[in-house]
Structure 1
Amino acid sequence: MALLSEKDAKKVQEILNALPSTVEVHFFTQELECQFCRETGELLRELAALSPKLKLVEHDFLLDKDAASAFSVEMVPAIVPVGPAGDLGLRFYGIPAGYEFASLLESFKLAAGADPELADETKEFLSQLAQELELEVYVTPTCPYCPGMVVNAFRLAAASPKVKAAMVEATEFPHLAIRYQVRGVPRTVINRGQAYIEGLVPESHLVETLRNLS
């Protein structure tokens, strides 16, 4: 049974066909002890069948250690979109379902080479960035504000090799949600707990928080 309705599939197909270049979607999965690996795989296969602009590459997380190491993937399900500029540091941990489906489509656009459309102040900040930054945005599929924060983080990562950004579905990784005290979403964890941002904030707020890191 298709996960997308015929109407939604047609809209998504138009979006995918309009991508400026082909995107390789690396999907890390395993058969056991992975709550949504099967569903995530079904979704990605359905998307890849809609357009030649998506090339799905599936990896067994337990067997394909080289690929997992190359992309620094530590848990599954994991999605890594890779375009002509290579790996931009965009990651999905957990199924991008519900509202997060929009984040998935946006990641394809960025990986394909779309302009991140950042403010001039943000571009200046990124050009002067000395340290590497890791942004993990904890979400749930039913959170309408979460995709906005995920995309904010993804745009920074797409514009700078020093920034990596991930969507983490909180209910699939409860040990991490507990570690980072995720009580509401979105909650953005910076550098594995060096700083936090609660809720959806403007790009300028995100950049100011990053600027103030010691």
Structure 2
Amino acid sequence: MLEPDLKAQLKAYLERATRPIQITASVDDGEKSAQMLSLLDDLQEASALISVDVVRDDDERKPSFALTSPGQDMHLRFAGLPMGHEFTSLVLALLQVGGHPPKAAGETLEQVRNLEGEFLFETYYSLSCQNCPDVVQALNLMAVLNPNIRHVAIDGALFQDEVEAREIMSVPTVFLNGKPFDQGRMSLEQIVAKIDTGAEERMAKQIAAKDPFDVLVVGGGPAGAAAAIYSARKGIRTGVAAERFGGQVLDTLSIENLVSVPHTEGPKLATALEQHVREYDVDIMDLQSAEALVPAGDDGLHEIQLANGASLRAKTVVVSTGARWRQMNVPGENEYRNKGVAYCPHCDGPLFKGKHVAVIGGGNSGVEAAIDLAGIVAHVTLLEFDVKLRADEVLQRKLRSLPNVTILTSAQTTKVLGDGKRVTGLAYTDRTSGESREVALEGIFVQIGLLPNTEWLKGTVELSDRGEIITDSHGRTNVPGVFAAGDCTTTPYKQIVIAMGEGSRAALAAFDHIIRTSAPAAAEAGAAA
């Protein structure tokens, strides 16, 4: 099942396990069960601590396998073959069941151990989804730490009947005790905060008690991470408040233009960014959404008001809140979001196998999405508002060579159609003839660019017509002591490497601002003494 190189790597990883790992496989006579048993044989060969039992007459999903350790009360299971992006989830689960300590923050681990109640989580994933492993890994860890928590990770493509019955049209989708819990990427902290009802209030109190920062970075993407590192290296008090560390990078599948890194994936880069920041004395505050900026008054401190009611104060602020997927803003889009309307073809594409879908947008992202989807679905209809596609010519040639793709230009999407439960089609206007038309389909993938996350700054910081923060050559905004960097600014070419550079520059400019504004006060204090 596994290639020799991967077997060697797996064996090296499993040397970190310190206690026995018991795998119980539930199988039938199907091909997928045979493949799973082959995978489990490879796991057993990789470590003397692993043992495998096979059962055929139980009521579990088939094929699936449970992981535990003798004497331990753990309940986690993989339904299907966790390969692709989920192979890392399997390796981590083996290590954690085998006694290897997790890397999560100690207070979060303790919070998980103290959760009371009975929790049965079921996560539906796809093997091509880069967002799914975070959720699977977080819930697996929770099942290892707390015997009251059970988790089953389910390959949606393999258990298609369940996907249809539960009307799952986006991954990851999580059920808790048989009822919908949440969809999309979630961190361990986010999941715990959602089921630990007092967590937000406790966090708000902790934040409110914090001393002012020299530099407060708002946002945890590439720009924010770079700003935090450059600030901390100056030896000044640095904090980061972010909704999710990694930002838009977490939703990026393949990265091949980061100088000196020939290839990586978004989640891997996001993890590396956070690990680098944590090497310094930086106060990272996750799950924090900024709602308002109050410019500095007589005390010289800016205030960032958060959604949980707490506030943070700082001498300088670096705003790096990035951007999000732009929506079509047509009737039915919000109603059918995650019910056929999707924004990540890599994540959700496998759920539409054999179906008819549309891609909205003829730029590089849209055309790449259409090419990828054409290998999975029955047919792709690409709609572009302009008179021609805007993607690179090499991508257009590839797209036009595919037999199951229809390209519609001068097409303005006007409405998402559905039956109340899921998407059934879309309506568009032919901008050449003015005629209204409809396309019958089961999925719509929106790929029309990004929208800056700056609504919370309106009225305090000068924004462009597109909502981007206007900055000068030093990353300064019109508010003294407030800087900005990355995709939320007017800086052209929204690229990871540019965002990193912009974040570094903004941090250096913030440090320079602190020096220049505090020097006179220090001098006066010295003279008075």
TM-score, length basis structure 2: 0.36
**Hey, what does 2:74 align to over in structure 1?**
88
1:35-54 equivalent positions in 2, closer than 5 A = 36-54=32-50
8 Å Cα contact 1:35-1:172 kept in structure 2: no
* Residues 85 and 147 of structure 1: CA distance in aligned 2, closer, same or farther (over 3 Å): farther
Distance 2:110 2:7 in 1: 38
What is the deviation of 1:121?
Answer: 4.6
Question: Could you say what secondary structure the match of 1:185 adopts?
Answer: coil
8 Å Cα contact 2:61-2:79 kept in structure 1: yes
Letter in 2 for 1:41: L
Residue 143 (structure 1) aligned to one of 104, 107, 129: 129
Residue identity over aligned pairs, in percent, reads 21
Deviates more, 1:131-140 or 1:78-87: 78-87
Distance 2:48 2:168 in 1: 38
**Hey, what does 2:323 align to over in structure 1?**
none
1:178-197 equivalent positions in 2, closer than 5 A = 178-193=164-179, 195-197=180-182
Structure 1 gaps of 5+ residues are 63-67
Letter in 1 for 2:133: P
**Hey, what does 2:253 align to over in structure 1?**
none
What is the deviation of 1:77?
Answer: 0.9
Deviates more, 1:146-155 or 1:42-51: 42-51
8 Å Cα contact 2:64-2:78 kept in structure 1: yes
**Hey, what does 1:75 align to over in structure 2?**
61
* Residues 88 and 145 of structure 1: CA distance in aligned 2, closer, same or farther (over 3 Å): same
8 Å Cα contact 2:123-2:153 kept in structure 1: yes
Question: Could you say what secondary structure the match of 1:91 adopts?
Answer: strand
* Residues 56 and 124 of structure 1: CA distance in aligned 2, closer, same or farther (over 3 Å): closer
1:104 corresponds to 2:61 = no
Letter in 2 for 1:176: E
8 Å Cα contact 1:27-1:77 kept in structure 2: yes
* Residues 85 and 103 of structure 1: CA distance in aligned 2, closer, same or farther (over 3 Å): farther
What is the deviation of 1:124?
Answer: 4.8
Displaced runs of 4+ in structure 1, greater than 2 A?
84-87, 114-130, 178-181
Question: Could you say what secondary structure the match of 2:138 adopts?
Answer: helix
Letter in 1 for 2:39: L
**Hey, what does 1:55 align to over in structure 2?**
51
8 Å Cα contact 1:85-1:111 kept in structure 2: no
Question: Could you say what secondary structure the match of 1:171 adopts?
Answer: coil
* Residues 39 and 197 of structure 1: CA distance in aligned 2, closer, same or farther (over 3 Å): same
Letter in 1 for 2:189: S
Residue 22 (structure 1) aligned to one of 10, 20, 26: 20
Which is higher, the Rg of structure 1 or of structure 2? 2
Letter in 2 for 1:211: D
Letter in 2 for 1:29: V
Distance 2:50 2:34 in 1: 19
1:153-164 equivalent positions in 2, closer than 5 A = 153-164=139-150
Higher helix share: 1
8 Å Cα contact 2:26-2:64 kept in structure 1: yes
Letter in 2 for 1:122: T
What is the deviation of 1:52?
Answer: 1.0
Letter in 2 for 1:144: Q
Higher relative contact order (CA 8 A, sep 6+): 1
Residue 199 (structure 1) aligned to one of 176, 180, 184: 184
Letter in 1 for 2:72: G
What is the deviation of 1:92?
Answer: 0.7
Letter in 2 for 1:89: H
8 Å Cα contact 1:37-1:77 kept in structure 2: yes
**Hey, what does 1:65 align to over in structure 2?**
none
Letter in 1 for 2:48: P
1:113 corresponds to 2:99 = yes
Task: Tell me the number of residue pairs that the alignment of Structure 1 and Structure 2 aligns.
Answer: 198
**Hey, what does 1:208 align to over in structure 2?**
193
TM-score, length basis structure 1: 0.83
* Residues 83 and 206 of structure 1: CA distance in aligned 2, closer, same or farther (over 3 Å): same
